[in-house]
Amino acid sequence: MPDRMADPTVEASPTRLPGCTDAGTGGPALLYVPGWCGDRSVFDGLLERASVHRHAVSVDLPGHGDSPDPGDYGTAFVVDTLVAEMARTGITRVVPVAMSHAGWAAVELRRRLGPDLVPGVVLLDWMVLGTPPGFEDALAALQGPDWAQVNARLREMWTAGLDLPDLQRYVDAMGDYGRLHWARAGREIAAAFAESPVPLDAIEALQPFPTLHLYAQPADDAALTAQQEYAAQRPWFSVERLDARSHVPMFEVPDVMADRIETFVAGLR
């Protein structure tokens, strides 16, 4: 089934389905994938802006948002659901836009479907060059009795002290997910980094593909410089540190992010 053809005379009108919001026409489509213990509402602003230009779909992970809970599962099952959502919404060529550790699912989707169907990937606020000190301990703690305290500290760090109601509501809602959700997140993220400590190296181990990283945290110049140096040797990778402070910068600079993503996707072959 070909991607829905774009018609600039038709105003985008999002359709909400269980576990999915679907809007716009034209390809390649964007498939927005949230991170663990969050739902697709994080992408509402980006999806609205993108649907003016192309088909845009946001999904919930299984057992998140209003998506049915299948019981325990891992990253491979997430990719299965992404493939199923592509079929349900009529997507053939797709660019995943992955929030944080959903990047592992985006990379696996590319591996499964190949360059013809997944011409590029957008990564948002991820540890693309590996984890910082102490992160492995935090992942282990999310799977232990102190999980609630750990996720509370993480969520406080992610908001960066900003007084933005939509940002605060979203991050507060992440805290409503229970022990099993957070333990699964810790387990799956830890397993992925144990197998591939540097996500960008995992991409390079495949046939390298166009990859854009947009992020706000961490704010230190060393993190940006390291990524810029990596990009200087690898034309398939590009990075921009946004003028934002939180871990979910789409609540701060949605216009900038939508513009950068559209420019990237429009340039794909």
| pLDDT score for 3 | 57
What is the spatial distance between Cα 156 and Cα 220, in angstroms, rounded to a whole number? Answer: 18
List of domains in the chain? 15-130+196-266 (3.40.50.1820)
pTM for the model: 0.93
136 contacts 150 by C-beta, under 8 angstroms: no
Which residues have a Cβ under 8 Å from the Cβ of 211 and sit 6 or more positions away?
A: 120, 121, 122, 123, 200, 203, 236, 237, 238
| pLDDT score for 13 | 61
What is the spatial distance between Cα 172 and Cα 259, in angstroms, rounded to a whole number? Answer: 28
199 contacts 100 by C-beta, under 8 angstroms: no
| pLDDT score for 8 | 38
In eight-state DSSP terms, residue 269 is -
Secondary structure percentages of the chain, helix, strand, coil, to 5: 45, 15, 40
| pLDDT score for 17 | 65
Residue 168: CB atoms within 10 Å = 15
pLDDT, averaged per 10 consecutive residues of the chain (269 residues), comes to 44 68 95 97 97 97 92 95 94 97 97 96 98 95 94 89 92 93 96 97 93 96 98 98 96 98 95
